[in-house]
Amino acid sequence: MYDDPLRAVRHAVNDGRFKDAQRALEQLPTEVSRMPEGQLLSAMATWRLGAFARSFAAALEARDGFRARGDVDGEMRAENVAAAGAFALGNLSEADRGFTRALELADELSDDIMIARCANNLGNVAYYRACYDTALGFYRLATANFQKLTFWKGLAEAWLNSTIVLYEAGDLDASREAGERAVDAAEKSGDRRVLGQALAARSETGAALGDLLLARAWAERARDLAAEHDHVVAEADALRILSVIARLSGDPQDGAALGRRALVIAERVNDPWRLAEVQRALGELYESVGRRDDAAAAFAEAARAFGELGADIRATRMRDRLAAL
Protein backbone atom coordinates (compact mmCIF):
# COMPACT_ATOMS: atom_id res chain seq x y z
CA MET A 1 0.00 0.00 0.00
CA TYR A 2 1.32 3.45 -0.97
CA ASP A 3 2.40 5.51 2.02
CA ASP A 4 1.24 9.13 1.78
CA PRO A 5 3.05 11.08 4.52
CA LEU A 6 1.08 14.24 3.68
CA ARG A 7 -2.37 12.64 3.90
CA ALA A 8 -3.24 14.10 7.32
CA VAL A 9 -2.06 17.54 6.26
CA ARG A 10 -4.04 17.39 3.03
CA HIS A 11 -7.21 16.34 4.85
CA ALA A 12 -6.77 19.13 7.41
CA VAL A 13 -6.42 21.74 4.65
CA ASN A 14 -9.40 20.36 2.74
CA ASP A 15 -11.49 20.39 5.94
CA GLY A 16 -10.50 23.98 6.76
CA ARG A 17 -8.49 22.99 9.84
CA PHE A 18 -5.54 25.18 8.97
CA LYS A 19 -3.88 25.31 12.38
CA ASP A 20 -4.02 21.52 12.53
CA ALA A 21 -2.51 21.33 9.06
CA GLN A 22 0.39 23.55 10.02
CA ARG A 23 1.03 21.62 13.24
CA ALA A 24 1.00 18.33 11.32
CA LEU A 25 3.48 19.70 8.80
CA GLU A 26 5.84 20.83 11.55
CA GLN A 27 5.90 17.29 12.95
CA LEU A 28 6.97 15.74 9.64
CA PRO A 29 10.61 15.19 8.62
CA THR A 30 12.10 18.16 6.79
CA GLU A 31 12.56 16.17 3.58
CA VAL A 32 8.79 15.57 3.54
CA SER A 33 7.54 19.01 4.58
CA ARG A 34 9.81 20.69 2.05
CA MET A 35 8.60 18.58 -0.85
CA PRO A 36 6.72 20.72 -3.40
CA GLU A 37 3.38 19.32 -2.23
CA GLY A 38 4.29 19.95 1.40
CA GLN A 39 5.31 23.52 0.62
CA LEU A 40 2.07 24.08 -1.29
CA LEU A 41 -0.04 22.77 1.59
CA SER A 42 1.90 24.99 3.97
CA ALA A 43 1.30 27.98 1.69
CA MET A 44 -2.43 27.26 1.61
CA ALA A 45 -2.69 26.87 5.39
CA THR A 46 -0.60 29.91 6.30
CA TRP A 47 -2.49 32.12 3.83
CA ARG A 48 -5.74 31.24 5.58
CA LEU A 49 -4.11 32.03 8.92
CA GLY A 50 -3.04 35.48 7.74
CA ALA A 51 0.69 34.80 7.41
CA PHE A 52 0.82 36.12 3.87
CA ALA A 53 4.57 36.65 3.47
CA ARG A 54 5.24 33.12 4.70
CA SER A 55 2.57 31.75 2.38
CA PHE A 56 3.98 33.61 -0.64
CA ALA A 57 7.51 32.31 -0.01
CA ALA A 58 6.34 28.72 0.44
CA ALA A 59 4.19 28.85 -2.69
CA LEU A 60 7.10 30.14 -4.78
CA GLU A 61 9.29 27.28 -3.54
CA ALA A 62 6.51 24.83 -4.36
CA ARG A 63 6.07 26.31 -7.84
CA ASP A 64 9.77 26.05 -8.62
CA GLY A 65 9.85 22.47 -7.34
CA PHE A 66 6.87 21.41 -9.44
CA ARG A 67 8.32 23.18 -12.47
CA ALA A 68 11.64 21.36 -12.08
CA ARG A 69 9.71 18.06 -12.09
CA GLY A 70 7.70 19.02 -15.14
CA ASP A 71 4.49 18.84 -13.07
CA VAL A 72 2.27 21.37 -14.84
CA ASP A 73 -0.72 20.77 -12.58
CA GLY A 74 1.36 21.38 -9.46
CA GLU A 75 2.96 24.44 -11.01
CA MET A 76 -0.48 25.83 -11.82
CA ARG A 77 -1.81 25.31 -8.28
CA ALA A 78 1.31 26.78 -6.69
CA GLU A 79 1.31 29.76 -9.06
CA ASN A 80 -2.28 30.51 -8.04
CA VAL A 81 -1.49 30.36 -4.31
CA ALA A 82 1.66 32.45 -4.75
CA ALA A 83 -0.38 35.06 -6.60
CA ALA A 84 -2.90 35.04 -3.76
CA GLY A 85 -0.06 35.74 -1.35
CA ALA A 86 1.21 38.59 -3.52
CA PHE A 87 -2.33 39.95 -3.69
CA ALA A 88 -2.72 39.93 0.09
CA LEU A 89 0.65 41.63 0.49
CA GLY A 90 -0.39 44.40 -1.88
CA ASN A 91 1.74 43.51 -4.89
CA LEU A 92 -0.97 43.81 -7.54
CA SER A 93 1.42 43.54 -10.48
CA GLU A 94 2.83 40.22 -9.25
CA ALA A 95 -0.67 38.98 -8.39
CA ASP A 96 -1.90 39.86 -11.88
CA ARG A 97 1.07 38.09 -13.47
CA GLY A 98 0.67 35.00 -11.30
CA PHE A 99 -3.08 34.61 -11.72
CA THR A 100 -2.76 35.16 -15.47
CA ARG A 101 -0.05 32.49 -15.71
CA ALA A 102 -2.14 30.08 -13.62
CA LEU A 103 -5.11 30.75 -15.92
CA GLU A 104 -2.97 29.98 -18.98
CA LEU A 105 -1.87 26.67 -17.43
CA ALA A 106 -5.46 25.86 -16.41
CA ASP A 107 -6.61 26.45 -19.98
CA GLU A 108 -3.78 24.25 -21.24
CA LEU A 109 -4.94 21.47 -18.89
CA SER A 110 -8.68 22.12 -19.54
CA ASP A 111 -9.09 22.46 -15.77
CA ASP A 112 -12.47 24.17 -15.52
CA ILE A 113 -12.41 24.66 -11.77
CA MET A 114 -9.00 26.32 -11.83
CA ILE A 115 -10.11 28.48 -14.76
CA ALA A 116 -12.99 29.64 -12.58
CA ARG A 117 -10.76 30.27 -9.58
CA CYS A 118 -8.21 32.24 -11.60
CA ALA A 119 -10.96 34.30 -13.23
CA ASN A 120 -12.36 35.07 -9.79
CA ASN A 121 -8.91 36.10 -8.57
CA LEU A 122 -8.25 38.28 -11.61
CA GLY A 123 -11.58 39.94 -10.93
CA ASN A 124 -10.33 40.79 -7.46
CA VAL A 125 -7.19 42.41 -8.90
CA ALA A 126 -9.33 44.49 -11.26
CA TYR A 127 -11.59 45.48 -8.36
CA TYR A 128 -8.63 46.71 -6.31
CA ARG A 129 -7.69 48.86 -9.29
CA ALA A 130 -11.28 50.19 -9.41
CA CYS A 131 -11.82 48.68 -12.87
CA TYR A 132 -15.38 47.59 -12.15
CA ASP A 133 -16.46 46.43 -15.61
CA THR A 134 -13.33 44.30 -15.98
CA ALA A 135 -13.85 42.81 -12.52
CA LEU A 136 -17.49 41.95 -13.21
CA GLY A 137 -16.49 40.35 -16.53
CA PHE A 138 -14.08 38.02 -14.74
CA TYR A 139 -16.68 37.24 -12.07
CA ARG A 140 -19.22 36.33 -14.75
CA LEU A 141 -16.69 33.87 -16.22
CA ALA A 142 -16.07 32.47 -12.73
CA THR A 143 -19.77 32.08 -11.86
CA ALA A 144 -20.52 30.40 -15.20
CA ASN A 145 -17.80 27.80 -14.62
CA PHE A 146 -18.58 27.24 -10.96
CA GLN A 147 -22.28 26.88 -11.84
CA LYS A 148 -21.46 24.34 -14.55
CA LEU A 149 -19.47 22.32 -12.05
CA THR A 150 -22.06 22.77 -9.24
CA PHE A 151 -19.21 23.98 -7.03
CA TRP A 152 -21.13 25.92 -4.41
CA LYS A 153 -18.17 27.30 -2.45
CA GLY A 154 -16.56 28.82 -5.53
CA LEU A 155 -19.92 30.12 -6.69
CA ALA A 156 -20.46 31.78 -3.31
CA GLU A 157 -17.05 33.47 -3.50
CA ALA A 158 -17.69 34.79 -7.02
CA TRP A 159 -21.14 36.09 -6.09
CA LEU A 160 -19.91 37.76 -2.90
CA ASN A 161 -17.16 39.46 -4.88
CA SER A 162 -19.78 40.64 -7.37
CA THR A 163 -21.80 41.95 -4.42
CA ILE A 164 -18.89 44.10 -3.27
CA VAL A 165 -18.10 45.48 -6.74
CA LEU A 166 -21.73 46.30 -7.51
CA TYR A 167 -22.06 47.99 -4.12
CA GLU A 168 -19.04 50.17 -4.77
CA ALA A 169 -20.21 50.92 -8.31
CA GLY A 170 -23.46 52.23 -6.81
CA ASP A 171 -25.84 49.57 -8.19
CA LEU A 172 -27.33 48.65 -4.82
CA ASP A 173 -30.27 46.63 -6.15
CA ALA A 174 -27.97 44.41 -8.21
CA SER A 175 -25.61 44.19 -5.23
CA ARG A 176 -28.45 43.05 -2.96
CA GLU A 177 -29.46 40.34 -5.46
CA ALA A 178 -25.85 39.15 -5.80
CA GLY A 179 -25.54 39.11 -2.00
CA GLU A 180 -28.61 36.90 -1.68
CA ARG A 181 -27.14 34.51 -4.25
CA ALA A 182 -23.81 34.50 -2.40
CA VAL A 183 -25.41 33.59 0.93
CA ASP A 184 -27.58 30.90 -0.71
CA ALA A 185 -24.56 29.30 -2.42
CA ALA A 186 -22.50 29.55 0.76
CA GLU A 187 -25.19 27.78 2.76
CA LYS A 188 -25.38 25.03 0.14
CA SER A 189 -21.60 24.65 0.26
CA GLY A 190 -21.60 24.02 4.01
CA ASP A 191 -18.46 26.18 4.32
CA ARG A 192 -19.03 28.47 7.28
CA ARG A 193 -15.95 30.57 6.52
CA VAL A 194 -17.27 31.61 3.11
CA LEU A 195 -20.76 31.99 4.61
CA GLY A 196 -19.32 34.60 6.98
CA GLN A 197 -17.76 36.49 4.09
CA ALA A 198 -21.00 36.38 2.11
CA LEU A 199 -22.96 37.69 5.09
CA ALA A 200 -20.49 40.55 5.50
CA ALA A 201 -20.82 41.56 1.85
CA ARG A 202 -24.61 41.37 2.08
CA SER A 203 -24.52 43.39 5.28
CA GLU A 204 -22.61 46.29 3.75
CA THR A 205 -25.17 46.60 0.96
CA GLY A 206 -28.03 46.29 3.43
CA ALA A 207 -26.61 49.13 5.51
CA ALA A 208 -26.36 51.35 2.43
CA LEU A 209 -30.01 50.59 1.67
CA GLY A 210 -30.98 51.63 5.21
CA ASP A 211 -31.69 48.17 6.67
CA LEU A 212 -29.44 48.86 9.67
CA LEU A 213 -30.86 46.34 12.17
CA LEU A 214 -30.72 43.46 9.71
CA ALA A 215 -27.32 44.58 8.43
CA ARG A 216 -25.96 44.61 11.98
CA ALA A 217 -27.25 41.09 12.63
CA TRP A 218 -25.60 39.81 9.45
CA ALA A 219 -22.31 41.58 10.22
CA GLU A 220 -22.26 40.28 13.79
CA ARG A 221 -22.78 36.75 12.56
CA ALA A 222 -20.04 37.28 9.97
CA ARG A 223 -17.67 38.47 12.70
CA ASP A 224 -18.48 35.47 14.91
CA LEU A 225 -17.99 32.98 12.08
CA ALA A 226 -14.65 34.58 11.16
CA ALA A 227 -13.44 34.39 14.76
CA GLU A 228 -14.67 30.81 15.08
CA HIS A 229 -12.66 29.72 12.04
CA ASP A 230 -9.52 31.86 12.57
CA HIS A 231 -10.29 33.89 9.43
CA VAL A 232 -8.55 37.05 10.52
CA VAL A 233 -9.03 39.19 7.42
CA ALA A 234 -12.73 38.36 7.34
CA GLU A 235 -12.96 39.36 10.99
CA ALA A 236 -11.38 42.72 10.16
CA ASP A 237 -13.87 43.20 7.32
CA ALA A 238 -16.83 42.41 9.59
CA LEU A 239 -15.58 44.81 12.28
CA ARG A 240 -15.13 47.57 9.68
CA ILE A 241 -18.68 47.07 8.45
CA LEU A 242 -19.99 47.09 12.02
CA SER A 243 -18.12 50.37 12.50
CA VAL A 244 -19.90 51.84 9.48
CA ILE A 245 -23.26 50.60 10.76
CA ALA A 246 -22.60 52.18 14.15
CA ARG A 247 -21.83 55.50 12.46
CA LEU A 248 -24.98 55.32 10.36
CA SER A 249 -26.94 54.43 13.51
CA GLY A 250 -25.74 57.58 15.28
CA ASP A 251 -23.17 55.95 17.58
CA PRO A 252 -19.78 57.26 16.42
CA GLN A 253 -18.07 56.33 19.68
CA ASP A 254 -18.87 52.65 19.23
CA GLY A 255 -18.03 52.98 15.54
CA ALA A 256 -14.58 54.33 16.34
CA ALA A 257 -13.92 51.52 18.82
CA LEU A 258 -14.94 48.88 16.27
CA GLY A 259 -12.83 50.53 13.59
CA ARG A 260 -9.78 50.56 15.84
CA ARG A 261 -10.24 46.83 16.53
CA ALA A 262 -10.31 46.19 12.79
CA LEU A 263 -7.21 48.33 12.39
CA VAL A 264 -5.30 46.28 14.97
CA ILE A 265 -5.97 43.13 12.95
CA ALA A 266 -5.01 44.74 9.64
CA GLU A 267 -1.73 45.98 11.12
CA ARG A 268 -0.98 42.65 12.80
CA VAL A 269 -1.28 40.65 9.58
CA ASN A 270 0.34 43.42 7.50
CA ASP A 271 -2.62 43.61 5.12
CA PRO A 272 -2.46 46.95 3.27
CA TRP A 273 -5.91 46.55 1.68
CA ARG A 274 -7.68 46.06 5.01
CA LEU A 275 -5.61 48.83 6.54
CA ALA A 276 -6.60 51.22 3.75
CA GLU A 277 -10.28 50.26 3.90
CA VAL A 278 -10.44 50.60 7.68
CA GLN A 279 -8.66 53.95 7.61
CA ARG A 280 -11.07 55.17 4.93
CA ALA A 281 -14.03 54.13 7.10
CA LEU A 282 -12.50 55.80 10.16
CA GLY A 283 -11.84 58.96 8.14
CA GLU A 284 -15.49 59.11 7.14
CA LEU A 285 -16.56 58.57 10.75
CA TYR A 286 -14.25 61.28 12.13
CA GLU A 287 -15.35 63.66 9.37
CA SER A 288 -19.00 63.07 10.28
CA VAL A 289 -18.42 64.28 13.86
CA GLY A 290 -16.17 67.21 13.00
CA ARG A 291 -12.85 65.65 14.05
CA ARG A 292 -11.02 67.11 11.06
CA ASP A 293 -7.47 66.36 12.21
CA ASP A 294 -8.28 62.71 12.91
CA ALA A 295 -10.13 62.45 9.60
CA ALA A 296 -7.17 63.97 7.76
CA ALA A 297 -4.75 61.50 9.35
CA ALA A 298 -7.00 58.55 8.47
CA PHE A 299 -7.50 59.63 4.84
CA ALA A 300 -3.76 60.26 4.47
CA GLU A 301 -2.97 56.78 5.80
CA ALA A 302 -5.59 55.25 3.50
CA ALA A 303 -4.06 57.08 0.53
CA ARG A 304 -0.59 55.82 1.49
CA ALA A 305 -1.75 52.20 1.82
CA PHE A 306 -3.71 52.27 -1.44
CA GLY A 307 -0.66 53.78 -3.11
CA GLU A 308 1.53 50.94 -1.82
CA LEU A 309 -0.89 48.49 -3.39
CA GLY A 310 -0.70 50.16 -6.75
CA ALA A 311 -4.41 51.02 -6.41
CA ASP A 312 -3.75 54.49 -7.80
CA ILE A 313 -7.37 55.48 -8.45
CA ARG A 314 -8.27 54.69 -4.86
CA ALA A 315 -5.25 56.55 -3.53
CA THR A 316 -6.25 59.61 -5.55
CA ARG A 317 -9.77 59.43 -4.14
CA MET A 318 -8.40 59.49 -0.61
CA ARG A 319 -6.13 62.43 -1.36
CA ASP A 320 -9.16 64.25 -2.78
CA ARG A 321 -11.09 63.57 0.43
CA LEU A 322 -8.16 64.90 2.40
CA ALA A 323 -7.97 68.07 0.31
CA ALA A 324 -11.72 68.65 0.72
CA LEU A 325 -11.60 68.71 4.53
Residue type (1 letter), 226:
A
Give yes or no for residue 1 having a pLDDT over 70: no
Predicted confidence at residue 49, as pLDDT, reads: 87
| CA 67/CA 178 separation, integer angstroms | 38
Least confident of 49-53, 194-198, 254-258: 49-53
Average pLDDT over the chain reads 94
Separation CA 78–CA 214 (nearest Å): 40
Count of CB atoms situated within 10 Å of the CB of 288 = 14
CA-to-CA distance for 309 and 317, rounded, in angstroms?
14
For residues 237 and 241, give the distance between their C-alpha atoms in angstroms, rounded to a whole number.
6
Domains of the chain: 1-6+16-110 (1.25.40), 132-230 (1.25.40.10), 231-325 (1.25.40.10)
CA angle 237, 99, 155 (to 5 degrees): 55
Cα 258 from chain centroid?
A: 20
Please determine, for residue 27, whether its predicted confidence score (pLDDT) is greater than 90.
no
In what helix (H) or strand (E) does residue 10 lie, and over which residues does it extend? helix 7-14
Residue-level pLDDT at 270: 83
Q: Which residues have C-beta within 8 Å of that of residue 16, sequence separation ≥ 6?
A: 48, 191, 193, 229
Q: What is the mean pLDDT of residues 37-61?
A: 92
Q: Assess whether pLDDT exceeds 80 at residue 71.
A: yes
Judged by DSSP in three states, 29 sits in: coil
Under a CB-based contact definition with an 8 Å cutoff, are residues 211 and 230 in contact? no
